[in-house]
Structure 1
Amino acid sequence: MQVENTHPRCFLGLLSCLFLAGLYVGSLYVWRSSSPRDHPSVIKRRCASVLLVSAVSPAVVKTWMHWADVKVDVSVWELMGLRMDGLVAASILPLLLTIVFYLGPLVHSAMDNPKGFTGEMQCALAHFHHVIEERRLGKESMSVILLVAGMQFLYTTVFGAFTAFIFIRTGHVVGPVLCHSFCNSQGLPDISSALQHPQSSALLFLYLLGGLLFLVLLFPLTDQYFYGPIPICSLAPLPASVC
């Protein structure tokens, strides 16, 4: 059998992913407004943009599968993580894993915030594309904006790898969505504040314990046993034994 070269298809797949990412971020800036991004009118417009891009995404995936000649036995919805098999586990276990990682910050929040955990839900993460808005509003100097954005970009890159891992291991999109929402509500663990806390020893122990438990539970809680057969879309050629 002549093995088909998969490099063009992989390249086309990469371009499709970049196109979707660019389309998502670009859709947030099609609305011209002098208001900050947390203004209600801006939020409504951005929600409309995100919903539109989300509606277009399946068509982009389907088009890529057609151009790359990728044939699978499941629907495009299942490939994108929208399936019923293992849905309950996919809605609980990845989020539980993320909460375990935030054990220290959650206890820290409960100790210092009169409103408990809900007070922390007002925080959100920024991304590199927010540099444009911060600069336009003149809130900080460019060096400070870039430093903050760089740290946030590093954090969101690591987080993106984690959610991609969750998606690949579970075959569900609900886990990454819930983990993303939770992490956005919590932000970066504030270790510097924990070091200055009156109960610093206990808090640092919980920070460390949460991280260790996360590593121990990472693979067990994402085991395929909980989620059923995972739809796979592979560009690799079939082994010679099946020919």
Structure 2
Amino acid sequence: MDLDFFKAILDCLISVGICFLLSVTYLASLHIWNSPYNRDHPSTIKKRFTSVFFMLFIAPCFLYAGLNKSILEEASLLEILGLRTKGLLQAIFMPLFLTMILFLGPISMELYSGLYKLYTEESYWYRNLTNLIWIRNHIVAPFSEEFTYRSCMLPLLLQCLPPVTAVLVNPLFFGVAHFHHMQERLKFGMDVKTALKISCFQFTYTTIFGTYSAYIFYRTGHFLSIFIMHAFCNHMGFPDIMEVTTYKKSKKIIISGLFVLGFIAWCFLLKPLTEPAWYYHSPTWYNV
């Protein structure tokens, strides 16, 4: 009994250690170029695109090395990574719809300001799809981060930790990873105190988002769910609560009410809209 307990602890430490090494490898791939320019310079962005492209092939190797081989007898590596076709349509739309409900307040602000009209203009899409920063923020970063930190890490944690614990531990790797931006801020002249405040704020909201994303992946078993959801959240950005205070009283009450309504509705719909059966997700190697 004691030997089984210590073996389980050792297996868990190995899984967490592999996740840590994968996170370090991902971050190292971004900084290996030692670019003299900031992260938004076209040269830096292109080099980092190359890095994350290679990480798409390297990251699954960490998963394969750390997975219990009995799991690979029950499911293919592609299925474990969330690259499945069964339930794909639901995976594309339902988590996105759920996330849009959470952002009901910010979406209503876009409707009120008329910003939504931009999405119907061809020039808006042409300008963005030829903008490296937009492509990074809305396509490359969500794709590579979710693939590395969710598809390749979460199964390692789920094989040795209770689901709730795995979902809570996983985003810590994701949140801490964002501290690498602090080094860049210091490099280009920002004072330590300001850089630390920004990094701590980033750690907080990226960890919260990472928990949500890990939960969605755990429940749906689809990579596309979390990629699309992440891209949408990057598009919306952190809600600008202060803008609400600039509205007239009647509009302020309505928008504030929609913020609250969206959050309450999201809480009620989170579990039913991510029911694994909707997505034909019923793995036997962990309990959903």
- Confirm or deny a common fold (TM above 0.5): yes
Match of 1:105 in 2: 106
Rounded to whole Å, the distance in 1 between the matches of 2:25 and 2:111 is 39
Match of 1:221 in 2: 273
Q: Once the two structures are superposed, what CA deviation does each residue of 1:75-96 show, in whole Å capped at 9, x if it has no partner? A: 1111111111111111111111
Does 2:162 correspond to 1:161?
Answer: no
Gaps of at least 5 residues in structure 1 are 236-243
Give the direction of change, closer, same or farther, for the CA distance of 1:117–1:232 in structure 2 (3 Å limit): farther
Moved more, 142-151 or 124-133: 124-133
Is the 2:219–2:281 contact (alpha carbons within 8 Å) kept by the matching residues of 1? no
Is the 1:81–1:172 contact (alpha carbons within 8 Å) kept by the matching residues of 2? yes
After TM superposition, the score normalised by the length of structure 2 is 0.73
Rounded to whole Å, the distance in 1 between the matches of 2:226 and 2:284 is 17
Question: Percent of aligned pairs with the same residue?
Answer: 32
Q: Once the two structures are superposed, what CA deviation does each residue of 1:155-189 show, in whole Å capped at 9, x if it has no partner? A: 00000000000011011111111111111122211
Rounded to whole Å, the distance in 1 between the matches of 2:232 and 2:41 is 22
- Structure number with higher helix proportion: 2
RMSD: 2.6
Where in structure 2 are the equivalents of 1:62-101 lying within 5 Å? 62-65=64-67, 68-71=68-71, 72-101=73-102
Does 2:185 correspond to 1:134?
Answer: yes
Is the 1:110–1:117 contact (alpha carbons within 8 Å) kept by the matching residues of 2? no
Q: Counterpart of 2:31 in 1: which secondary structure? A: coil
Offset at residue 102 of structure 1 (A): 0.6
Q: Which amino acid aligns with 1:183?
A: C
Does 2:205 correspond to 1:204?
Answer: no
Match of 1:182 in 2: 232
Q: Once the two structures are superposed, what CA deviation does each residue of 1:185-241 show, in whole Å capped at 9, x if it has no partner? A: 222111122123222111101111111111111001100121113334349xxxxxx
Gaps of at least 5 residues in structure 2 are 129-133, 142-174
Rounded to whole Å, the distance in 2 between the matches of 1:2 and 1:39 is 55
Match of 1:32 in 2: 34
Rounded to whole Å, the distance in 2 between the matches of 1:207 and 1:230 is 34
Moved more, 193-202 or 217-226: 193-202
Give the direction of change, closer, same or farther, for the CA distance of 1:76–1:114 in structure 2 (3 Å limit): closer
After TM superposition, the score normalised by the length of structure 1 is 0.86
